[in-house]
Amino acid sequence: MTTAVSPYARVLFAGPDLSAGSFAEVFRARLATLRGEQALRDVIDTGSGYGPLWQAVRESARPLLVIDLEPQSSSAHLDWLRSELMQFEGADRIFVASAIGTAEALPVEAACALIERTELHLPCTEVAPLPAVHAWSKIPLHEHRVLLCNGPRCTRRGALPLWKGLREKLKAAGKLECEGGVHITRTQCQFPCDQGPTLSVYPAGKWYRVRNEAEVTRLVDELFVGGREVPELLMPNQ
């Protein structure tokens, strides 16, 4: 129901790491203070993919506002998000706003305003220490090194949720950073963006175009689990 304080029937807050951790701790506490405990039901964690957001959009009344909290957000990512939301019923009454985005989204005024916002200041006590020996001190076990393009054109084509889904599928298949498995690294533009989203695999030196979840699943199942080439997903002229 539209309220006097908002022209929207519902406002969704979508982004990764909104369920647990330091950012989630501050964000959820402040959201509850500003909009009430019931607003916490509108927090959608997209860390494992955008499925929960799409479901919330389907279930939400219109007009609807989606506030993007993706740390890697950009103009290209927002264009992708809006184009996906455009496919839902009542899309003419769905709106998106970015709360983080690029550096321009955090002006000096907002940074300086944090000085007096003591409720947002996290204490530097009871912080979990780094273990003396941990995985970050050595090269992870792997057979394939996969580079995931996060350039503007690949992002515009939906790369961010595809790469999140790829990681989750590799993890579920027992192929993430293990012997015979895959080590993934995000990159900036890998250049053949018009054929993207672009994914390159080493040491084979193969370049792939992965456009949807079905192709992500196929690449994981056939190449990284089954050990079979997937020529249909290869970029041409290789």
DSSP letter for each residue of 152-217: HHHHHTTHHHHHHHHHHHHHHTT-BSSTTSEEEEEES--S-GGG-SEEEEETTTEEEE--SHHHHH
Cα Rg, the chain, nearest whole Å: 20
Does 149 have pLDDT greater than 60?
yes
- In one-letter notation, the amino acid at residue 38 is Q
* For residues 206-214, average pLDDT: 96
pLDDT at position 110: 61
For the segment 31-41, the average pLDDT, to the nearest whole number, is 91
Give the number of residues written for the chain: 238
Overall average pLDDT of the 15-24 stretch? 90
- Residue 213's nearest CA partner among 48, 2, 89, 26 is 48
Task: Tell me the pLDDT of the chain averaged across its residues.
Answer: 87
* Residue 124: band (very low, low, confident or very high) from pLDDT cuts 50, 70, 90: low
Cα separation of 30 and 118, whole Å? 12
Query: Residues 143, 176: contact at Cβ < 8 Å?
Result: no
Residue 228 clears pLDDT 60, i.e. is over it: yes
* Of 78-87, 112-121, 170-179, highest mean pLDDT: 170-179
Tokens 């515009």, located at residue: 156
- What is the rounded distance in angstroms from the CA atom of residue 63 to the CA atom of residue 91? 9
Task: Please give the Cα distance from 31 to 205 (Å, whole number).
Answer: 47
Tokens of 217: 């699943």
Q: Is the pLDDT of residue 120 over 90?
A: no
pLDDT at 183 over 90: yes
Pick the more confident residue, 119 or 106. 119
By 3-state DSSP, what share of the chain in percent is helix, strand and coil, each rounded to 5?
Answer: 40, 20, 40
Give me the phi and psi of 225, to 5 degrees please. -100, -50
**Mean pLDDT along residues 168-191:** 95
Identify the band that residue 237 occupies on the pLDDT scale cut at 50, 70 and 90.
confident
Which of the pair, 133 or 36, is modelled with greater confidence?
36
Q: Give the chain's count of helices (H) and strands (E).
A: 7, 8
- The mean per-residue pLDDT over the stretch 181-202 comes to 95
* Cis peptide, bond prior to residue 161, ω within 30 of zero: no
Per the rule left: phi > 0, alpha: psi between -120 and 50, beta: everything else, 48 is alpha
Mean pLDDT for 55-75 is 91
Distance in angstroms (rounded) separating the CA atoms of residues 53 and 20: 17
Amino acid found at 169: K
pLDDT exceeds cutoff 70 at 217? yes
